[in-house]
Amino acid sequence: MTMTRKPMPPVLTKRADFLAAARARRQGMPGFLLQARERGDDAPARIGYTCSKKIGNAVARNRAKRRLREVARLSMAPHLRPGWDYVLIGRPGATAQRDFEQLCDDALRALRKVHR
């Protein structure tokens, strides 16, 4: 049996892009905070992930970011709009411990609210 992997959306890497998203729309969910901004071009959507030291040590932060990446790949990728930047910010305790299906549901609800 061969598994086909869904492609990951392009990733935000520059600090200026994260700061611009922080000044735009935001939607808090139980498992994470979603920030989104429209860039004004037709380039593919980009997504960034961040977890502060409030999450815990490096192992805990990396685990939370891995979960956020997988949520974005599985549930958010088909619904991302071209020309938008998205940032997923992990929440202490919630991102790592929340049920994965609930995180995916949170992601879809957050996208719907941000794009209203």
Asked if the structure places residue 28 within a domain, the reply is: yes
**4-62 pLDDT tens trace:** 666 778 899 999 999 999 999 999 999 999 999 999 899 999 999 999 999 999 999 99
Asked if the structure places residue 49 within a domain, the reply is: yes
Give mean pLDDT, residues 65-75: 93
Asked if the structure places residue 26 within a domain, the reply is: yes
Asked if the structure places residue 8 within a domain, the reply is: no
* Domain at 97, CATH number: 3.30.230.10
Domain ranges, residue 76: 15-114
AA letter at 94 = A
0.85 surpassed by pTM: yes
Asked if the structure places residue 2 within a domain, the reply is: no
So what's the pLDDT on residue 7?
Answer: 76
User: How many domains is the chain built from?
Assistant: 1
**78-102 pLDDT tens trace:** 899 999 999 999 999 899 999 999 9
Across 12-39, b (16+ Cβ under 10 Å) vs e yields beeeebbebbeebbbbebebbbbbbbeb
Give mean pLDDT, residues 63-79: 93
